[in-house]
Amino acid sequence: MSAISVAPATAQALACWCHQGEWLTEFRTKSFGLLRCSGCGGYRIDPAPLQTPETSEEFYTEYYAREGVSELVASAELERSAYWSVVKQVPCLPQAGRRVADVGCGDAHLCAQLRDAGWQSVIGVDVSRTRIERAKKRYPDSDLFLGTLDESICQPGSLDLMVMDSVVEHLVNPEEVLAGLRKFLSVEGHFVALTPNMDSGHFAFLGKRWTGMLAPHAHIYLFTANSLRRLLEHAGFSVVTTGSIHAAPYLPSQFLKRIASGDVKGAIWRAHQEIGGWYGRLIGQGPMLYAVARRGH
């Protein structure tokens, strides 16, 4: 998908984190636009739902309060973090250890899964008061904190693992946040970031119709493997590897169930998603991007 024009001046208000290129307009719809940075190759939603990091707590507290809890999200058994797919693909990641932190833990399902997997100390932090309060009710014995790692009990140099699952795309200042997180990793610790993959077959096929992952109501910066690697390196990390995760195929029985229920429109929408998934498997680019990194020097 090629850029078609330079974005209007109003879109320049929030510069790219790399500060090395100009915004090019990838596309515009009636409700939002997608910009691509000519420097790092990453993307940004326009207008961005957030303009300053100071408003993050209020924005995401209100956002998740409005969203409520679906039956799927309310079930820890049904919501398995994509992190576990990364563990299968990257042998150097520890299966269990002493201390781990989930940054942007949401409802803390991953925290519970990490504890069940054998991690001795699990810390979760999130800027959404709504989600932290919900998580504490579900997991009252967990170490969960509103805010950042600096506001938790986590000590610098103490973590064997740090996970950010679907968080970096929500940050107004990703380089600053990531640079601040480095100090919490031990010398041998690993950092794992997961985010929507703008190299994916889904985006290549669906483009502006990939709204579930573009999420213009909540996401700010979106990444390719190259731009995510550059972001982590700018923040001081040493990147071990990047890769992608493919979504599980939608079964024929699931299509038939939708059609039988009268949801023909939903079945057609799902079919488009599946074509994107098939193309992603062909080119080796699933809808979720991951990067594994070390603390660096």
- 201 in any annotated domain: no
- 190 in any annotated domain: yes
Give how many domains the chain has, as a whole number: 1
- 41 in any annotated domain: no
pLDDT at 75 over 70: no
pLDDT at 6 over 60: no
DSSP string, 66-109: HH---TTTT-TTT---THHHHHHH-TTS-SS-SEEEEET-TTSH
- 289 in any annotated domain: yes
Cα 184 to Cα 203: distance, rounded to the nearest angstrom: 34
- 288 in any annotated domain: yes
Cα 168 to Cα 187: distance, rounded to the nearest angstrom: 23
Q: What is the pLDDT of residue 251?
A: 83
- 1 in any annotated domain: no
- 162 in any annotated domain: yes
pTM of this prediction? 0.89
Cα 131 to Cα 209: distance, rounded to the nearest angstrom: 28
- Residue 200 half-sphere exposure, CB side, CA atoms within 13 Å? 29
CATH code for position 256 = 3.40.50.150
Cα 163 to Cα 171: distance, rounded to the nearest angstrom: 15
Q: pLDDT per residue over 146-204, tens digit each?
A: 999 999 999 999 999 999 999 999 999 999 999 999 999 999 999 999 999 999 999 99
Structural domain span for residue 147: 55-195+223-294
- 227 in any annotated domain: yes
